[in-house]
């Protein structure tokens, strides 16, 4: 598989008032096309920060970020809008759908920013809505959809521009366990059948088990990086207990 | 752009209560501007036409020396052969009628008491043909020589009533004293109290007899439309004023109506003051609305930018929202204004007499299409401008901060 994202010695710090907090400490990792990777770890371990850096919506303080061979570390974020639109799809914990737009319009939005012909646009959006089981809900606004349906719309939106990778930040955290499992199954199925690359953060071991690769973070450091059929993750803060291989 | 416009349009209706309040403020502002502007426009029109009909006419022709120097003696620079001039003027296509007039001063006496007067020698038939109006309070209009119309204030000072005989005293053009007895035909009001206390009208022949002259002060010209005033003056001058171009001067009603000009200046200042207050009110209200709109949608902005929306596109969404709100508020403002104008104009309201006036004025508002268009454009521009700063702030948000906003 091709390497699509490379992180080398990435560090990120935040300031909260006078306090300096280190979110990532020297993270080095590579992600390849077609992966289904869970970035696991307890709250505050740096999962979201790592996804933000991969998705070019944040910049590292030190280290390099390379996307498809292009070193984007020193490029200002507002100049990376086209790159984000082309290479990444995002799924958020709170869905983040545009409340003023219908399900169809939400899915369509990322490709409206490009120069895709209208017929192709329509075909992609309708195909994805059918794929996520929401063809009959195309005219519904987000507030008319359930949580699971909203996240399905968000997944369709993330996929519509045919990105290099879909970055999902705690995609099931706001869903009940059954709906969360359904959403994860959908992501898994899209990965298996269409080869879509998924990188998702989670602290739910049920979800971690379904990942083929698990990058375990603790206190901003990569503690484990396993490519296995099934992995179980401890969500407590104890570093030694963070990862437990189930195989 | 269509999607951005759609987002902007729908967001305007997301918080209906806030939008309704903003539209209400905008409508109030638009209506205040349109109503006050329409009210002033009606008053300008009314005052202009009243000024013209009350004796000023559209144009006045007098000798150049009279215009430049005035007179030391009555009729010193008076207009000779005025009948020929009137004939020439009346041959012009846009001239409806002309009338010669003499302005003079003197004393009027009832035998016991004398009062100074400001007199006009007029041609009643021609003035009637010109549509000049006279607010006759008692008696009859002028019909013949040796009759006079007195301002109500002057009549009150002399305790004169229609039918009484009074004596006019004046200085002839040669400098001698002269007197003429006149019968009071009627009493009239001009609407200006101070002028009513001095005003007097006699026939042209009576005035000429008192002043011992065959001249007049000026020839007043009534046109078929006020808007042709400037154009017709230029045309008359270009045509040589019947071969007397070097001797005569033509002045417009606007040159002579100093009171009208003062009123216009005053009203314009009031309108500007009102406009500034309303402008500030609308800017504050709409800025607050736009600021709240951006604040409530911080996470949404982060999402849009994460998916590749550029800063200028985020800016466009919010500026378009300002445009939508402006168009909506502007249209509501126009509708409210139209309704209020119709209601006011059909209510038969009157205003108390303004300073120096003795009669009440009708309260009417003129429907000025240009004012409607101007206020609409202004409202849309103000709302668009008000959206720029909040939109710029929204577009400058860091994506990570915006996505993490609670």
Beta-carbon separation of A57 and B399 below 8 A: yes
CA atoms within 13 A on the CB side of A148: 15
Q: How far is A53 from chain B (nearest CA, A)?
A: 10
Query: Considering only CB atoms, which chain A residues are within 8 Å of B402?
Result: none
Query: Considering only CB atoms, which chain B residues are within 8 Å of A96?
Result: 299-300, 302-303, 403
* pLDDT for position A184: 87
pLDDT, average across residues B179-190: 93
Of residues B3 and B310, more confidence is placed in B310
Quick one: tokens of B166?
């009074």
Query: Considering only CB atoms, which chain A residues are within 8 Å of B302?
Result: 96
Nearest to B52, CA basis, from B185, B246, B201, B251? B251
Nearest to B67, CA basis, from B252, B288, B285? B252
Whichever domain contains A10, its CATH number is 3.40.50.300
Quick one: tokens of B390?
């909040």
* pLDDT for position A20: 87
For residue B311, give the nearest of A78, A84, A99 by CB distance.
A78
Q: How far is A228 from chain B (nearest CA, A)?
A: 31
Domain that holds residue A223: 3-246
Distance in angstroms (rounded) separating the CA atoms of residues A184 and A26: 30
Single pTM value for the model:
0.71
Query: Considering only CB atoms, which chain A residues are within 8 Å of B300?
Result: 96, 98-99
SS3 letters across chain B: CHHHHHHHHHHHCCCHHHHHHHHHHHHHHHHHHHHHHHHHHHHHHHHHHHHHHHHHCCEEEEEHHHHHHCCCCCCCCCECCHHHHHHHHHCCCCEEEEEEEEEEEEEEECCCCEEEEEEEEECHHHHHHCCCCCEEEEECCCCCCCEEEEEHHHHHHHCCCCCCEEEEEEECCCCCEEEEEEEEEEEEECCEHHHHCCEEEEEHHHHHHHHCCCCECEEEEEECCHHHHHHHHHHHHHCCHHHCCCCEEEEEHHHHCHHHHHHHHHHHHHHHHHHHHHHHHHHHHHHHHHHHHHHHCHHHHHHHHHCCCCHHHHHHHHHHHHHHHHHHHHHHHHHHHHHHHHHHHHCCCEECCCCCECCCEECCCCCCHHHHHHHHHHHHHHHHHHHHHHHHHHHCCCHHHHHCCC
Beta-carbon separation of B304 and A98 below 8 A: yes
Beta-carbon separation of B306 and A99 below 8 A: no
Q: Residue B74 burial (CB < 10 Å; 0-12/13-18/19+)?
A: buried
Beta-carbon separation of B306 and A57 below 8 A: yes
Q: How far is B23 from chain A (nearest CA, A)?
A: 20
Q: How far is B394 from chain A (nearest CA, A)?
A: 13
Residue B169: CB partners within 8 Å, gap ≥ 6? B106, B107, B108, B109, B114, B177, B178, B179
- pLDDT higher than 90, residue B357: no
Query: Considering only CB atoms, which chain A residues are within 8 Å of B307?
Result: 84-85, 89-90, 109-110, 113, 157
For residue B308, give the nearest of A85, A99, A101 by CB distance.
A85
Beta-carbon separation of A57 and B305 below 8 A: yes
Quick one: tokens of B234?
């230029």
Distance in angstroms (rounded) separating the CA atoms of residues A168 and A156: 12
pLDDT tens-place values along chain A, 247 residues long: 588 899 999 999 988 888 888 999 999 999 999 999 999 999 889 999 999 999 999 999 999 999 988 999 998 887 888 899 889 999 998 899 988 889 999 999 888 877 889 899 999 999 999 988 999 999 999 999 999 999 999 999 998 988 989 999 998 888 888 888 888 888 888 888 888 899 999 988 878 888 999 999 999 999 999 886 544 443 333 222 222 332 2
Q: Residue A102 burial (CB < 10 Å; 0-12/13-18/19+)?
A: buried
Beta-carbon separation of A112 and B3 below 8 A: yes
* pLDDT for position A46: 93
Cβ-Cβ contacts under 8 Å between A and B: the total is 69
Residue burial A179-209, b: 16+ Cβ < 10 Å; e: rest: bbbbbbebbbebbeeeebbbbbbbbbbebbb
Beta-carbon separation of B306 and A55 below 8 A: yes
For residue A113, give the nearest of B11, B308, B399 by CB distance.
B308
Query: Considering only CB atoms, which chain B residues are within 8 Å of A85?
Result: 307-308
Whether chain B has a CB inside 8 Å of the CB on A241: the answer is no
Beta-carbon separation of B303 and A99 below 8 A: no
Nearest to B57, CA basis, from B243, B198, B255? B255
Chain B positions touching chain A (beta carbons under 8 Å): 3, 6-7, 10-11, 14, 299-300, 302-311, 313, 398-400, 403
Whether chain B has a CB inside 8 Å of the CB on A81: the answer is yes
Measured in whole angstroms, how far is the alpha carbon of residue B324 from the centre of its chain? 35
Q: Is A131 helix (H, G, I), strand (E, B) or coil?
A: helix
Whether chain B has a CB inside 8 Å of the CB on A112: the answer is yes
Residue burial B200-226, b: 16+ Cβ < 10 Å; e: rest: bbbbbebbbbbbebebbbbbbbbbeee
Q: Which tens digits make up the pLDDT trace of B153-176? A: 999 999 999 999 999 999 998 888
pLDDT, average across residues B345-369: 80
Q: How far is A246 from chain B (nearest CA, A)?
A: 34
Q: How far is A245 from chain B (nearest CA, A)?
A: 33
Whether chain B has a CB inside 8 Å of the CB on A57: the answer is yes
Q: How far is A234 from chain B (nearest CA, A)?
A: 26
Distance in angstroms (rounded) separating the CA atoms of residues B34 and B334: 8
* pLDDT for position A188: 87
Q: How far is A111 from chain B (nearest CA, A)?
A: 9
* pLDDT for position B303: 92
Q: Long-range contact list for B256-261, CB < 8 A, 24+ apart?
A: B256/B56, B256/B60, B257/B48, B257/B51, B257/B56, B259/B51, B260/B44, B260/B47, B260/B48, B260/B51
Beta bridge partners of B119: B104, B200
Quick one: tokens of B180?
């003429």
Distance in angstroms (rounded) separating the CA atoms of residues A70 and A82: 13
Nearest CA in chain B to A105: B3
Distance in angstroms (rounded) separating the CA atoms of residues A178 and A207: 11
What ipTM describes this predicted complex?
0.85
Domain count, chain A: 1
pLDDT, average across residues B41-57: 85
* pLDDT for position B127: 86
Residue A195: CB partners within 8 Å, gap ≥ 6? A33, A34
For residue B7, give the nearest of A52, A57, A98 by CB distance.
A98
Q: Which tens digits make up the pLDDT trace of B63-101? A: 999 988 887 888 888 999 999 999 999 999 999 999 999
Distance in angstroms (rounded) separating the CA atoms of residues B386 and B287: 5
Above pLDDT 70, what percent of chain B?
A: 98
């Amino acid at each position: 598989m091709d390497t699509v994202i490379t992180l080398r010695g990435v560090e990120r710090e935040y300031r909260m008032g006078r306090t300096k907090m280190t979110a990532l400490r020297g993270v080095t990792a590579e992600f390849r096309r077609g992966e289904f990777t869970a970035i696991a770890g307890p709250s505050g371990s740096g999962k979201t920060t790592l996804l933000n850096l991969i998705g070019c919506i944040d910049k590292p303080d030190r280290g390099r970020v390379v996307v498809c061979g292009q070193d984007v570390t020193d490029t200002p974020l507002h100049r990376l809008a086209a790159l984000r639109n082309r290479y990444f799809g995002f799924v958020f914990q709170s869905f983040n759908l545009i409340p003023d737009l219908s399900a169809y319009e939400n899915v369509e939005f990322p490709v409206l920013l490009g120069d895709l012909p209208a017929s192709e646009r329509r075909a992609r959006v309708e195909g994805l809505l059918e794929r996520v089981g929401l063809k009959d809900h195309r005219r519904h606004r987000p507030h008319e959809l359930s949580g699971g349906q909203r996240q399905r719309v968000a997944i369709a939106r993330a996929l519509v521009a045919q990105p290099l990778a879909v970055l999902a930040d705690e995609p099931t955290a706001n869903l009940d366990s059954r709906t969360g499992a359904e959403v994860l199954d959908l992501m898994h199925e899209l990965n298996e059948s269409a080869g879509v690359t998924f990188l998702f953060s989670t602290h739910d071991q049920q979800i971690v088990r379904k990942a083929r690769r698990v990058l375990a973070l603790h206190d901003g450091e990569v503690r484990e990086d396993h490519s296995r059929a099934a992995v179980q993750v401890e969500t407590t803060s104890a570093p030694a207990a963070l990862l437990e291989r189930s195989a | 752009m269509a999607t951005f416009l759609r987002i902007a349009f729908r967001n305007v209706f997301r918080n209906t209560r806030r939008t309704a309040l903003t539209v209400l403020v905008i409508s109030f502002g638009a209506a205040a501007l349109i109503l006050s502007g329409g009210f002033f426009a009606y008053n300008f029109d009314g005052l202009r036409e009243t000024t013209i009909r009350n004796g000023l006419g559209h144009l006045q022709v007098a000798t150049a020396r009279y215009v430049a120097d005035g007179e030391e003696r009555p009729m010193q620079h008076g207009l000779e052969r005025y009948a020929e001039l009137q004939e020439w003027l009346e041959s012009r296509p846009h001239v409806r009628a002309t009338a010669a007039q003499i302005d003079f001063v003197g004393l009027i006496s009832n035998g016991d008491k004398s009062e100074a007067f400001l007199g006009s020698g007029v041609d009643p038939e021609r003035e009637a043909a010109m549509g000049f109006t006279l607010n006759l309070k008692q008696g009859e209009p002028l019909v013949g020589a040796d009759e006079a119309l007195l301002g109500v204030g002057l009549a009150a000072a002399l305790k004169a009533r229609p039918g009484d005989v009074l004596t006019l005293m004046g200085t002839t053009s040669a400098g001698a004293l002269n007197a003429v007895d006149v019968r009071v035909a009627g009493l009239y009001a001009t609407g200006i109290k101070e002028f009513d206390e001095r005003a007097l009208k006699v026939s042209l022949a009576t005035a000429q007899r008192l002043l011992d002259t065959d001249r007049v002060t000026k020839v007043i010209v009534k046109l078929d439309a006020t808007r042709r005033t400037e154009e017709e003056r230029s045309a008359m001058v270009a045509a040589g004023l019947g071969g007397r171009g070097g001797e005569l001067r033509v002045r417009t009603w606007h040159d002579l109506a100093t009171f009208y000009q003062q009123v216009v200046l005053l009203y314009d200042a009031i309108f500007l003051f009102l406009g500034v207050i309303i402008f500030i009110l609308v800017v504050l209200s709409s800025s607050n609305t736009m600021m709240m709109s951006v604040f409530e949608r911080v996470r949404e902005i982060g999402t849009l930018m994460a998916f590749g929306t550029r800063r200028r596109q985020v800016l466009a969404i919010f500026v378009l929202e300002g445009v939508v709100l402006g168009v909506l508020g502007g249209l509501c403002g126009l509708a409210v204004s139209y309704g209020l104008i119709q209601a006011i104009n059909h209510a038969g309201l009157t205003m108390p007499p303004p300073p120096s006036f003795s009669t009440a004025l009708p309260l009417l508002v003129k429907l000025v299409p240009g004012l409607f268009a101007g206020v609409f454009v202004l409202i849309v521009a103000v709302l668009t401008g008000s959206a720029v700063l909040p939109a710029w702030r929204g577009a400058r948000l860091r994506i990570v901060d915006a996505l993490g906003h609670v």
